[in-house]
Amino acid sequence: MDSEEADLPPFRSSTSTRSLVPATALASPAAALPSLSSSGTSAASAPSSHSQAGLLRDVQAAFKRHRRLEHPGVKQSNDIRPRRAVAPTGSLAPGAGARRFRDSPALGRLGKKKIPDAETVMPSFPGMETKSFDESFNPFDVRMDQASCDIDWKEKDLPPVNDTEPLGSSSRKVQVSMQGNITSQGPYAHVATEPGNLSSYFSSLALTEIEFDSCSQVEGSTVINQDLQRQKLLTVESDVISKSYVNMPTTLSQRTAAVQDKVHQLRNFLNQPSTQSSVAGLSCVTTTSVHSSAAPMSSSTTCYSHLNQEDQRLVTVKTLGDPSPRLVKQENMMKLPTTSVMTTSEMVVDEPALASHNSSSYVGDKSEDKKVNVCKEPSSMKEERALKYDVAAQATAGVASSEQSKVPLSGDSSLIKKPGPALPGKDENATNRTGTSVPRKRNYDPDLFFKVNGKLYQKLGKIGSGGSSEVHKVISSDCTIYALKKIKLKGRDYATAYGFCQEIEYLNKLKGKNNIIQLIDYEVTDKTLQNEVRSGSMNIKDGRVKEDGFIYMVLEYGEIDLALMLSQKWKEMESLGQMIDENWLRFYWQQILQAVRTIHEERIVHSDLKPANFLLVKGSLKLIDFGIAKAIMSDTTNIQRESQVGTLSYMSPEAFMCNEQDANGNVIKCGRPSDIWSLGCILYQMVYGRTPFSEYKTFWSKFKVITDPNHEIVYGPISNPWLLNIMKKCLAWDRNKRWRIPQLLSHPFLAPLQSYAAPPSHEEEGCTLLVHLMSDASTFSTLLKESMEGPLSVSEVESLASQDGLCSLLSEVSRLCLELRGRVRESRRQQ
Ligand SMILES: Nc1ncnc2c1ncn2[C@@H]1O[C@H](COP(=O)(O)OP(=O)(O)OP(=O)(O)O)[C@@H](O)[C@H]1O
């Protein structure tokens, strides 16, 4: 926060938050402000009960503010109109809402300049259901679930305060930080269907920017920095610009008559020529722009800063029978920093028509007439896009309430505005001037949304892209964040395309498994392929996917990947001068093992295990990316693959030599042990901060050293011999000697607590020891047996003790074991 921002005291209390919703709700900003009332910081506040009289007063106040400025020193012009139509020219005339805003200590300075119109900040979805207007609704009943809501108003880039400065010339930004949990129950919270949704959305808001211009218009942009109550998001950073203009509830018959007059004024006001796009005359319009600045998967990108051999990705290599390995690598598969990928979404969604009492109205639901009515003379690309979406929104919402859509908007034909220029290919749902519908190919803006099985997901930002796919961060209509993977199929042959679909198959198979990323929904737009996938058959052998075929996969969203976590952890340890945090290691290593156990139990070999493919979801590591596993026959133990695939630094020797013949003439196959090797590389990286073969920089040197059975991996000094031992168990060159997951999970490295357990009482001592022996005996004997296979590695022995010391230790252990066995037998005889 800069010093200027720091000057602004925090604006505390729920009222601050309230201001956001009602202001949007009423086309008049001032009218929205009564709900600011309960704040102790808002001096001139209306009673929090929001009586009808209060409502009218506020509406009147709002319209007062719509009058021309009579500010001394400001030359009045007929051109002074809201840039965004509904938020009107803001004089400094003391409108109730204005005063409240200005009177707030936090906003004192702002109030001097221009009065902001608070607006709703939330994503909008065509088809998102609104609450019906009902007599029981208190239009301003937007409450905070939490007693306090801290709003920290920050003023950014504000030019010097000057009441006489020409209107429309500058824009100002104010940041609002807020924490709290808001539930909107009023009809003006028109965007939210369920209070829970709104609540969860708002509860996640942490930073809101509201941009003012000198016409008192508000452009609220929200950087959402989520505190994940409900564990929906860990961090979300989005800019949301929201402009909401909401109508009066006509079902409130008592209010209608009195308010209607004002509404007419408002309509006339809105109909002024320079009004911008997002205005609906009588109908309510909500414009929401989402600038998702940061899909918080910086994680997925960060790790790639160490792009060297770690990121060499082997895509396709040689085929069986071809003696010369033709290894094709994809090097430096750098993921773009997500922060650099920004999606801007803007949409205009109509509110139910004033006349409509339809309780099942949808935001965005509106008649063609209304649509035509909505946007007028778009003056910028932004407006064009808003218009574009507006049109789309209607079409989407059309399914929801066709009746409502027929409600005539108003008799005031002057309100009907020309639709803005259609963007080529985008405005497919537009209605022509005669009111007849043209065929609708698409009822949403594909720039802003994905549609999967009829459900819309608003884009928040691109997370990254793989060889054939891109992954986006999206938000669903119930305000849940997901990752959406889009795989392009066009031009691919059906066999390949079917291969892509197998990832879906695996994810379906792994549904409900805790440590695997969950597939929420999917759609294959090529119906032939989709049917094949559904039937589990692959009959089409020939041909290519002709249409614009895509696979859409809606996935659980991962906040950070292990690769980034690792690099962060290493930085942290280096700064503290530490070597390794064993507990941290154990915690995640165990989760990694559990995830791989899950797939191995399902007879799935992942084949591309690496830190970047473990995502942290709500505190647990989950495995992603079954893109390579798809090529594996799931019902076999060992897999004969047509090509060598994987990520170089984590590829097992047999993955490099897949389908070649070993010394005994057997075809080398990849199976679960290949995954265990990759796990060994991951653990090595966790311990030493680099992969075991990272010093071999070129592809061929890496290939050579990994496939050399005599190459000895160098292990740096390490204090815990069990840790060394477990790495060696995973990185045994001979795949038959590598440990399997169950053994790794019961490895002593993961059970250090036994040595720290509270010392047993004297009587229990023997018994506790036996219990421990029971649970660990098999591991212990396996370890013993293995240590007797082949020559003992001197380095291993040295790290434990001197060889003599070891011998006497073993004698002692063996003597004690024999003695213990005798006592166990004795006690059994006595029983
Ligand atoms: N569920 C998810 N949540 C968050 N980020 C994800 C999710 N799935 C994938 N990603 C991220 O999206 C990016 C691309 O993922 P994807 O698995 O498509 O690519 P890849 O493995 O690099 O390439 P390929 O698809 O060719 O195997 C990666 O940075 C990954 O971390």
Question: pLDDT of 142-159, one tens digit each?
Answer: 333 333 333 333 333 333
Q: Is 558 in the pocket of ligand 1 (CB under 6 A)?
A: yes
Asked whether residue 10 carries a pLDDT value surpassing 60, the answer given is: no
In the structure encoding, which two tokens stand for residue 285, read together?
């319009």
**Residue from 350, 390, 608, 625 carrying the catalytic annotation:** 608
Q: How far is the CA of 623 from the centre of ligand 1 (A)?
A: 11
Q: Which range is least confidently modeled, 75-79, 105-109, 670-674, 731-735?
A: 105-109
Half-sphere exposure of 207 (CA within 13 A, CB side): 15
**pLDDT value at position 751?**
82
Give the Cα separation of 44 and 49 in Å (integer).
14
Asked whether residue 725 carries a pLDDT value surpassing 50, the answer given is: yes
Q: Is 625 in the pocket of ligand 1 (CB under 6 A)?
A: yes
Q: What is the mean predicted confidence (pLDDT) over 800-808?
A: 72
Render pLDDT for 174-221 as a digit per residue (tens, 0 to 9).
333 333 333 333 333 333 333 333 333 333 332 222 222 322 332 332
Q: Which range is least confidently modeled, 231-245, 646-660, 682-696?
A: 231-245
Q: Is 213 in the pocket of ligand 1 (CB under 6 A)?
A: no
Residue with the bigger pLDDT between 591 and 281: it is: 591
For the chain, the average pLDDT equals: 58
Give the Cα separation of 477 and 288 in Å (integer).
13
Q: What is the mean predicted confidence (pLDDT) over 711-729?
A: 93
Across-strand partners of 28?
none
On whether the CB atoms of residues 265 and 86 are closer than 8 A, the answer is no
Percent of the chain scoring above 70 in pLDDT: 39
Nearest 5 degrees, angle CA 274-CA 351-CA 422? 50
Of ligand 1's listed atoms, the one at least distance from the Cα of 315 is 26
Q: How far is the CA of 116 from the centre of ligand 1 (A)?
A: 41
Residue with the bigger pLDDT between 622 and 818: it is: 622
In the structure encoding, which two tokens stand for residue 510, read together?
């792994």
Q: Is 559 in the pocket of ligand 1 (CB under 6 A)?
A: no
Q: How far is the CA of 464 from the centre of ligand 1 (A)?
A: 6
Q: How far is the CA of 628 from the centre of ligand 1 (A)?
A: 12
On whether the CB atoms of residues 546 and 473 are closer than 8 A, the answer is no
Q: Is 474 in the pocket of ligand 1 (CB under 6 A)?
A: no
Beta carbons within 10 angstroms of residue 682's beta carbon: 26
Across 507-637, where does the E strand assignment appear? Answer: 519-524, 550-556, 560-561, 614-617, 620-623
- List the one residue out of 724, 679, 698, 707 whose CA is nearest residue 589: 679
Residue with the bigger pLDDT between 33 and 736: it is: 736
Confidence of residue 535 (pLDDT cuts 50, 70, 90): confident
Across 74-228, where does the E strand assignment appear? Answer: 142-144, 150-156, 171-179, 182-184, 207-213, 218-223
Give the Cα separation of 41 and 38 in Å (integer).
8
Pocket test for ligand 1, best of 312, 463, 613 (most atoms within 8 A of CB): 463
Half-sphere exposure of 74 (CA within 13 A, CB side): 25
Asked whether residue 722 carries a pLDDT value surpassing 50, the answer given is: yes
On whether the CB atoms of residues 328 and 316 are closer than 8 A, the answer is yes
- Atom 19 in ligand 1: residue holding the nearest Cα: 466
Q: How far is the CA of 548 from the centre of ligand 1 (A)?
A: 22
Question: Considering Cα of 224, then 228, then 229, then 230, what sign does the dihedral take?
Answer: positive
Q: How far is the CA of 485 from the centre of ligand 1 (A)?
A: 8
Render pLDDT for 358-414 as a digit per residue (tens, 0 to 9).
333 323 333 333 332 333 333 344 433 333 333 334 333 333 333 333 323 333 333
Beta carbons within 10 angstroms of residue 423's beta carbon: 16
**pLDDT value at position 16?**
32
> Helices 762-788 & 803-830, crossing angle to 10 degrees?
130
Report for 96-105, 203-212, 301-310, 651-660: range of highest mean pLDDT: 651-660
Listed in sequence order, the DSSP H helices in 317-459 are 368-374, 381-398, 402-406
Q: Is this complex's ipTM strictly greater than 0.90?
A: yes
**pLDDT value at position 750?**
92
**pLDDT value at position 799?**
57
The long-range contacts involving 333-336, CB below 8 angstroms and separated by at least 24 positions, are: 333/304, 333/466, 333/467, 334/301, 334/304, 334/307, 335/300, 335/301, 335/304, 335/463, 335/464, 335/465, 336/301, 336/462, 336/464, 336/465
Give the Cα separation of 414 and 7 in Å (integer).
47
Render pLDDT for 434-478 as a digit per residue (tens, 0 to 9).
334 344 567 789 899 999 999 999 999 999 987 778 999 999 999
**pLDDT value at position 752?**
72
Asked whether residue 79 carries a pLDDT value surpassing 90, the answer given is: no
Helix (H) or strand (E) run with residue 306 in it: none
Of ligand 1's listed atoms, the one at least distance from the Cα of 612 is 31
On whether the CB atoms of residues 607 and 656 are closer than 8 A, the answer is no
* Known catalytic residue at 608: yes
**pLDDT value at position 55?**
57
- Atom 17 in ligand 1: residue holding the nearest Cα: 625
Pocket test for ligand 1, best of 485, 502, 565, 616 (most atoms within 8 A of CB): 485
Q: Is 272 exposed, middle or buried (0-12, 13-18, 19+ CB in 10 A)?
A: middle
Q: Is 626 in the pocket of ligand 1 (CB under 6 A)?
A: no
- Atom 31 in ligand 1: residue holding the nearest Cα: 300
Burial 684-704 (b: 16+ CB within 10 A, else e): bbbbbbbbbbbebeebeebbe
Q: Which range is least confidently modeled, 259-273, 483-497, 534-548?
A: 259-273
- List the one residue out of 487, 450, 452, 483 whose CA is nearest residue 470: 487
- List the one residue out of 284, 298, 393, 377 whose CA is nearest residue 336: 298
| 285 three-class SS | strand
What does the DSSP 8-state code read for residue 147? S
Across-strand partners of 593?
none
Q: Is 616 in the pocket of ligand 1 (CB under 6 A)?
A: no
Q: Is 180 in the pocket of ligand 1 (CB under 6 A)?
A: no
- DSSP one-letter string for 494-543: HHHHHHHHHHHHHHHHTTT-TTBPPEEEEEESSHHHHHHHHHT-----S-
- Atom 10 in ligand 1: residue holding the nearest Cα: 471
| 212 three-class SS | strand
Q: Which range is least confidently modeled, 117-126, 327-336, 465-474?
A: 327-336
- List the one residue out of 569, 563, 570 whose CA is nearest residue 608: 563
Residue with the bigger pLDDT between 586 and 193: it is: 586
Percent of the chain scoring above 90 in pLDDT: 22
Q: Is 468 in the pocket of ligand 1 (CB under 6 A)?
A: yes
Residue with the bigger pLDDT between 619 and 307: it is: 619
**pLDDT value at position 629?**
65
Q: How far is the CA of 501 from the centre of ligand 1 (A)?
A: 15
What does the DSSP 8-state code read for residue 334? P
Nearest 5 degrees, angle CA 388-CA 391-CA 395? 140
**pLDDT value at position 438?**
45
Helix (H) or strand (E) run with residue 246 in it: none
Asked whether residue 562 carries a pLDDT value surpassing 80, the answer given is: yes
Confidence of residue 422 (pLDDT cuts 50, 70, 90): very low
Q: Is 467 in the pocket of ligand 1 (CB under 6 A)?
A: yes
Give the Cα separation of 236 and 463 in Å (integer).
12
Asked whether residue 798 carries a pLDDT value surpassing 80, the answer given is: no
Pocket test for ligand 1, best of 334, 469, 515 (most atoms within 8 A of CB): 469
Beta carbons within 10 angstroms of residue 518's beta carbon: 17
Q: Is 553 in the pocket of ligand 1 (CB under 6 A)?
A: no
Asked whether residue 334 carries a pLDDT value surpassing 70, the answer given is: no
Q: How far is the CA of 146 from the centre of ligand 1 (A)?
A: 37
Asked whether residue 240 carries a pLDDT value surpassing 60, the answer given is: no
Confidence of residue 795 (pLDDT cuts 50, 70, 90): low
On whether the CB atoms of residues 115 and 87 are closer than 8 A, the answer is no
Residue with the bigger pLDDT between 627 and 580: it is: 580
**pLDDT value at position 125?**
53
Q: What is the mean predicted confidence (pLDDT) over 717-737?
A: 93
